[in-house]
Amino acid sequence: MKDKTFGNEEVLKILEIDPWLSSHKSDIDLRMSRYREVKKALLGDGKTFNDFANGHHFFGFHKTQDGWYYREWAPAAEALYLIGDFNGWNRGSHPLEKKEGGVWEIFLPGTDSLQHGSLVKVNVHHNGVMRDRIPLYIKRVIQNKKTNDFSGMIWDPKEQFNWTDGDFKIDRNKPPFIYETHIGMAQEREGIGTYKEFEDNLLPRVKKLGYNTIQIMAIMEHPYYASFGYHVSNYFAASSWFGIPEELKSMINKAHEIGLTVLMDIVQSHAVKNISEGINEFDGTVQQFFHEGARGTHSTWDSKLFNYGKHEVIHFLLSNIKFWMEEYHFDGFRFDGVTSMIYNDHGLGTAFDSYDKYFSMNTDLDALTYLQFANELIREMRPDALSIAEDMSGMPGMCLPIEYGGIGFDYRLAMGMPDFWVKTLKMKDDDWDMSSMFHELSTTRYMEKRVGYVESHDQALVGDKTLIFRMADKEMYWNMNKSSQNLAIDRAIALHKMARLITISLGSEGYLNFMGNEFGHPEWIDFPREGNGWSFKHCRRQWNLADSEYLRYFDLNQFDIAMIHMMSGEGLMGGVPQPLDIDNLKKVISFRKDDHIFIFNFHPTDSYTEYELPIHEDSSWKVILDTDEQLFGGQGRISHDVTFESHKLKVNPEYTGITVYSPSRTGMLLKRVR
C-alpha cells in the first residue's frame, strides 16, 4: 500500500507504521523492486502463483487412460533410466528421453505397467558416475528393514480417499491456540506412534484441552527418525514412519470434523545432505537445488541450503507448498528456520540490536523474496489459511502484508519468550525483574502478531530442560504425588502455572504449547539412538500422569484446560495491556485489558492482605480464575465469592481503586461485574 509521497516518491505503508525504518527506505524499496521483478519473470502477465506452482502435476508419476508418464527435472544429467521391481531393476531397459529445459520423460503403455505398491528408483548418469536415486516428486518412500535401503513406491490405491471437510474454514478473527505435536511420540507405548493412533487418541484430548489448532512436526519424509523431521529427504512424500497417506488424510479430515485447524511444520530452510535418500546432487551437481561451496552447507545443522534465487528452485518449493494444501488439506504452515534462510550467517551469534543488522550484505534478498511468494501463494489458495514464521531476529515487516512492504506472514513465533524464562529461572527468585518481565512478554513491533509460548519442543529435547524440570529436577521422580510435601515441588507447581498465565495474557495474539508440557511432563525427549541403546523410553508421552487424579500432573493439566478456555471464552488474547502496577520490590505485576485485570505476585514468601490497585473508576470486580485454586494444586487462598468494590485508596486517597488479597506466588484474573 502506497498512499503518501515525498516529492515524487511513493511511500510504502511499512514506513508509516514504523518510522524508525525511514533511514532504510532504500532497503525496503529494494526488497519490493526485487519482489516485482522476479514475480514478473516467473509469471509474466495475468498469471498467479497458483497457476505457476504445479510441478507436482507434471513431474513424477502420472497415470492416464493409456499408461503412465514419468518425468524429472535433471538439467545436468546425461542419462536417466527408470528402474524398479516392474522391470527386475534393469538399469538399461527403460531410458528417459531428454526434453527442453532439463526435463526428462518416459511413457509406459498400459495402466498396469506400474502397479500400486511397486518399488521404483531412477538411475542417473552424470560425468561417468551412475547413481540410483529416489524420484524427486515421489509421493511415498519406504525403507527395507533388512538392508535399511530406501525406495520410492508407486501409490495408486483403487479407491481415492473420500474427504468430508469441504465446509471447514478457519475463523481468522479467532486467535490460534496451538498444540505442537509429533505423531511418532504422541503415544504412551514405547515405539513409534501412527497417524491412526493420533486420530483416535490425541485429537479428542487436544479438543478437550481447548486448543483449536494442531501444529504437526516431521510430516515430510526423513530418513533419520531422530532428526525430529528437520532433515527432509523427500519433499512430496508423507512420512512412512507413521503409516500410509490415507491414514494421514483421515487424521486431518477428522481434525476438521471436530473443528481443529491443522498446520504443518514445513522445512524449506534446508535439506538433508544424503545423496541416496534425498535430493542433493540429484542430477549429479550440487547447484541443481543448492548453493555451491560454503554457502550451500549449514555447518551447525550439517545440511544443504537452497538457492532461492534460482527460478527452478522457487518452482519446486512453491509446488511443494501447494501439494500439501491440495493433497492433504493442510490449513497452513509454520515455516521452520526462517532466520537461517534470510541471513547469510543464518543469524548464528548475531544480536539483532540495531536496524542495521536487518539490512546489510548479510541479508539474503532472494530468500525474503521467496517467502513473499510463498505467502502470496498460500493466500491465493486459501484466504483463510495461516502462515507462521520461526524467526528469532524480528525482521521488520515479517508479519505485514506484502503490499505494505512486508513479507506476508500472519504470525511470528515470539522466540525471545522461552529464552527469557530460561534466563529468569537461572536467577534467584529475589532477583527476578518485574519491569523486564513485563517488557519482554508484552513488547512487539507495530502491527506484528506474535505467537507467545513458555516452551516448545526445543526446550523439551535432551540436552535442554523443560521449565518444570529446571525448577523441580530430580524431586519430580519422588514427590509429584499429592500426598507428598516438598518445597521444591510446591514452587515448581506454582511458577509453572504463573509463567503460562502471564505469558498467554501479556499481549500475544496466539499461544503455543508442546504436547505434554501443559501438565509438566517429567521426561525429556531422547530419540532412539546408538547412545541410548535405541530405546523409546524417552520418546513418548505418558498421558496416564495427566489423567491420574492422585498426581500433581493432573492438577497442572486441569489448570491448562481452565486457562485456555478462559482466554478463549473471554476474548483475552491480543490487545495492548495497560500496566497498573509494576513493583520490583514486592515482585508484583498488575495490568488491565478492558473489563479484566490480571494480578501476579511472584514474591517467594510475601503475601499482601491489602493490595491496593488504582483503576480510576467506580466499578465492581470478581475473581474468575486464579492459579492457587485447590483444583489446580494450589492452597485455595483466594475467594471467588468476594466482590471488590472500588473506593478511595488508603495509600493514595486521590486515587480510586480496589483492595484485594494477593498471596505469594499466585496469579489471578478479575472481571468487571459492574
Digit-coded pLDDT (tens) for 192-225: 999 999 999 999 999 999 999 999 999 999 999 9
Digit-coded pLDDT (tens) for 616-667: 999 999 999 999 999 999 999 999 999 999 999 998 888 899 999 999 999 9
Residue with cell 519446486: 316
Residue with cell 483403487: 158
Indicate if the pLDDT at residue 5 is higher than 50.
no
Report how far residue 514's alpha carbon sits from residue 658's, in angstroms, rounded to the nearest whole number: 37
Catalytic residue (one of 18, 199, 390, 509): 390
CB 107 within 8 A of CB 68: yes
Report how far residue 378's alpha carbon sits from residue 605's, in angstroms, rounded to the nearest whole number: 51
CB 556 within 8 A of CB 632: yes
- pLDDT attached to residue 444: 87
Element housing 554 (H / E): helix 552-569
Report how far residue 163's alpha carbon sits from residue 254's, in angstroms, rounded to the nearest whole number: 10
Q: How far is CA 63 from the centre of its chain?
A: 35
- Helix intervals (H) in 304-393: 311-328, 338-342, 365-381
CB 308 within 8 A of CB 368: no
- Three-state DSSP string of 405-447: CCCCCCEEECCHHHHHHHHHHCCCHHHCCHHHHHHHHHCCCCC
| Grid cell locating 425 | 529461572
Strand-pair category, 119-126 with 103-109: unpaired
Mean pLDDT over the full length of the chain: 95
Catalytic residue (one of 180, 336, 366, 509): 336
Let me know if 331 is exposed, middle or buried by CB neighbors in 10 A (0-12, 13-18, 19+).
buried
- pLDDT attached to residue 83: 98
Q: State percent of the chain over pLDDT 70.
A: 99
- Residue 336 bears catalytic tag: yes
- Residue 464 bears catalytic tag: no
- pLDDT attached to residue 292: 96
Digit-coded pLDDT (tens) for 81-134: 999 999 999 999 999 999 999 999 999 999 999 999 999 999 999 999 999 999
What is residue 198's DSSP assignment?
A: I
Report how far residue 466's alpha carbon sits from residue 425's, in angstroms, rounded to the nearest whole number: 11
The residues near 330 (Cβ < 8 Å, ≥ 6 apart) are 252, 262, 263, 264, 324
Phi and psi at residue 315, in whole multiples of 5°? -60, -45
Digit-coded pLDDT (tens) for 467-496: 999 999 999 999 999 999 999 999 999 999
Digit-coded pLDDT (tens) for 232-244: 999 999 999 999 9
Report how far residue 434's alpha carbon sits from residue 589's, in angstroms, rounded to the nearest whole number: 7
Q: How far is CA 172 from the centre of its chain?
A: 17
- pLDDT attached to residue 275: 96
Digit-coded pLDDT (tens) for 6-35: 333 457 999 999 999 999 999 999 999 999
